[in-house]
């Protein structure tokens, strides 16, 4: 078998002088712009020799097998609609109308989509936060065990690990709990695809005992956007329900360039991943040490490690608290962008989060560190009070996510939302945990909290009216 079956077949086809009388409509040459026309030559469809993603028996099957081997999976699926596709497929395969499923409340919005599609009902696992920074990081095996005993009907636990901030949960301890109780363990490891290629990084969830894992390959590996994978453990390799749901959700016109990029990244990582990850690990350690010597800044590794449930940290995520400077994280990030042409992944009132890759060179890490130093020196602290967030207790759920999604909703002034059923999600950063989700009862306390959030300048995500003068509600149960 060639090491890169898809890439080799595409290269052969693109190199031959075929008259293309098949889809796509650009026929391999109809894109005027040079940058896109190079991609168009490789952008083909399921013609003989190029296999079929929905019934793989040739190059796609071979390439998926190579992917599974690299990730120590029993079976791996290519996903061409991002990690979202895998998360939706798992919900559809394992969730049912009204069936309870355990998940963290700070999960990515695709979990909500999965519940809408499947009809599953969430049981939220408490999310542990770091008190000073106010960010949501992990869930604990103890909480999961308690919840599974309280909800014996729930068959599935769906974790998100690593968090957006690079902290992983103790997946091995959680897997021991789910195994003992005969439950399924699924992990959204969208940000951790690189873990499989170096022991210096957190242990991958599949090797820690998860039954199924979703990797957003494009997030941390050299893979085109949307390229992702769903890996099944050896015991689940033949799961026909998952095969059905992946096929149900996948487009019938998968992008061959995306699939080829997954394959090439896998080969690249097998050959170079360990050394590049080790290099990045050293850069990261050195950069963190230097940042921690800058007055007003710190990378908070100790603080993150102390949070209950946090097992390991991803060295490629550099989280910097700016609380000791006169700037908020937002202001710090905009100085970095405007003056130093450095764009970070995320900022909130207290922090900035930089996401490095194996392709950043020593000078990139130095440039980042030096810019931080310049800014910190120019804006010495102490700053204002760090934004503290004490989320009100999770609201009461009146409608399942699916029922709420299907119900008509209407807009009312924010204060009129008291004691109504929410028709939209509202989340704030920090802590990145939704305050309210569709179908939940809006309390007066929650409205007061939302008003406070808007006044304190927190970044609000989800509502149609970002200024929260209005809120969408569902008429009906309240």
Ligand X SMILES: Cc1ncc(COP(=O)(O)O)c(C=O)c1O
Which chain residues interact with ligand X by CB under 6 A?
82-84, 108, 110, 160, 164, 188, 190-191, 216, 228
Please state the closest distance from residue 309 (CB atom) to ligand X, in A: 16
C-beta of 185 vs 228, nearer to ligand X: 228
Q: What is the token pair recorded at 325?
A: 């400077």
Please state the closest distance from residue 387 (CB atom) to ligand X, in A: 22
CA 26 to the chain's CA centroid: 33
Secondary structure E strands in 51-144: 75-79, 100-104, 121-125, 128-130, 135-138
> What is the rounded CA–CA span in Å between residue 238 and residue 247?
14
C-beta of 204 vs 216, nearer to ligand X: 216
Q: Whose CB is nearest to ligand X? A: 82
Please state the closest distance from residue 225 (CB atom) to ligand X, in A: 8
**Alpha helix ranges (H) inside 313-442:** 329-340, 362-378, 401-406
> What is the rounded CA–CA span in Å between residue 37 and residue 41?
7
Q: Which residues are CB-neighbours of 165 under 8 A, at least 6 positions away? A: 135, 137, 304, 317, 319, 353
Please state the closest distance from residue 160 (CB atom) to ligand X, in A: 5
Q: What is the token pair recorded at 455?
A: 């006044």
Q: Are 462 and 424 in contact (CB under 8 A)?
A: yes
Please state the closest distance from residue 216 (CB atom) to ligand X, in A: 4
Q: 């974790």: which residue's tokens?
A: 159
Please state the closest distance from residue 255 (CB atom) to ligand X, in A: 14
C-beta of 291 vs 319, nearer to ligand X: 319
C-beta of 84 vs 328, nearer to ligand X: 84
Please state the closest distance from residue 378 (CB atom) to ligand X, in A: 32
Please state the closest distance from residue 214 (CB atom) to ligand X, in A: 7
> 282: exposed, middle or buried (C-beta count within 10 Å: 0-12, 13-18, 19+)?
middle
Q: 């003992």: which residue's tokens?
A: 180
C-beta of 108 vs 402, nearer to ligand X: 108
Please state the closest distance from residue 25 (CB atom) to ligand X, in A: 26
Please state the closest distance from residue 218 (CB atom) to ligand X, in A: 6
C-beta of 242 vs 446, nearer to ligand X: 242
C-beta of 106 vs 178, nearer to ligand X: 106
C-beta of 46 vs 188, nearer to ligand X: 188
> What is the rounded CA–CA span in Å between residue 296 and residue 287?
16
> What is the rounded CA–CA span in Å between residue 56 and residue 6?
12
Please state the closest distance from residue 138 (CB atom) to ligand X, in A: 13
Q: Which residues are CB-neighbours of 400 under 8 A, at least 6 positions away? A: 98, 115, 119, 120, 121, 439
CB atoms within 10 A of CB 387: 21
**DSSP readout, 414-465?**
GGGGTTSEE-S-EEEETT-SEEE-TTBB--HHHHHHHHHHHHHTPEEES-SS
C-beta of 191 vs 266, nearer to ligand X: 191
C-beta of 83 vs 351, nearer to ligand X: 83
C-beta of 137 vs 418, nearer to ligand X: 137
C-beta of 62 vs 161, nearer to ligand X: 161
Q: Are 6 and 263 in contact (CB under 8 A)?
A: yes
> What is the rounded CA–CA span in Å between residue 161 and residue 158?
10
Looking at the chain, how many residues does it have? 478
> 412: exposed, middle or buried (C-beta count within 10 Å: 0-12, 13-18, 19+)?
middle
Please state the closest distance from residue 137 (CB atom) to ligand X, in A: 13
Consecutive H or E run containing 284: helix 274-292
* Strand partners for 321: 298, 351
Consecutive H or E run containing 242: helix 240-249
Q: Are 65 and 126 in contact (CB under 8 A)?
A: no
């Amino acid at each position: 078998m060639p090491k890169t079956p898809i890439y080799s077949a595409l290269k052969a086809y693109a190199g031959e002088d075929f008259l293309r009388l098949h889809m796509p409509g650009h026929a391999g040459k109809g894109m005027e712009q040079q940058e896109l026309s190079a991609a168009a030559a490789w952008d083909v469809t399921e013609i003989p020799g190029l296999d079929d993603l929905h019934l793989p028996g040739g190059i796609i099957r071979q390439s998926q097998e190579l992917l599974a081997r690299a990730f120590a999976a029993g079976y791996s699926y290519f996903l061409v609609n991002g990690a979202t596709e895998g998360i939706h497929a798992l919900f559809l395969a394992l969730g049912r109308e009204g069936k309870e499923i355990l998940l963290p409340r700070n999960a990515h919005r695709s979990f909500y989509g999965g519940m809408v599609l499947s009809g599953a009902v969430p049981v939220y696992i408490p999310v542990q936060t770091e008190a000073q920074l106010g960010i949501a990081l992990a869930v604990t095996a103890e909480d999961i065990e308690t919840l599974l005993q309280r909800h014996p009907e729930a068959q599935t636990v769906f974790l998100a690990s690593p968090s957006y901030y690079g902290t992983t949960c103790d997946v091995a301890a959680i897997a021991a709990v789910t195994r003992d109780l005969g439950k399924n363990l699924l992990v959204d490891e969208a940000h951790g695809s690189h873990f499989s290629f170096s022991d210096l990084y957190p242990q991958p969830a599949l090797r820690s005992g998860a039954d199924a894992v979703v990797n957003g390959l494009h997030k941390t590996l050299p893979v085109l956007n949307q390229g992702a994978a769903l890996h099944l453990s050896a015991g689940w390799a033949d799961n026909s329900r998952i095969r059905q749901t992946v096929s149900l959700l996948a487009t019938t016109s998968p992008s061959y360039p995306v699939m080829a990029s997954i394959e090439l990244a896998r080969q690249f990582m097998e050959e170079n991943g360990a050394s590049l990850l080790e290099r990045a690990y050293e850069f990261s350690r050195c950069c963190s040490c230097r940042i921690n010597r800058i007055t007003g800044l710190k990378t908070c590794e100790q603080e993150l490690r102390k949070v209950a449930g946090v097992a390991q940290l991803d060295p490629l995520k550099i989280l910097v608290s700016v609380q000791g400077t006169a700037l908020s994280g937002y202001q710090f990030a905009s100085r970095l962008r405007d003056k130093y042409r450095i764009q970070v992944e995320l900022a909130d009132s207290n922090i900035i989060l930089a996401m490095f890759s194996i392709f950043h060179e020593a000078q990139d890490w130095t440039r980042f560190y030096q810019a931080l130093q310049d800014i910190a020196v120019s804006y010495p602290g102490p700053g204002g009070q760090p934004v503290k967030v004490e989320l009100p207790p999770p609201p009461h759920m009146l409608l399942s996510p699916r029922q709420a999604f299907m119900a008509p909703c209407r807009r009312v002034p924010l204060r009129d939302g008291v004691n109504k059923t929410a028709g939209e999600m509202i989340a704030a950063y920090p802590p990145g945990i939704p305050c309210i989700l569709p179908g939940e009862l809006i309390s007066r306390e929650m409205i007061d909290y939302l008003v406070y959030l808007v006044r304190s300048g927190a970044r609000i995500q989800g509502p149609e009216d970002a200024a929260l003068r209005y809120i969408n509600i569902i008429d009906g149960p309240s």
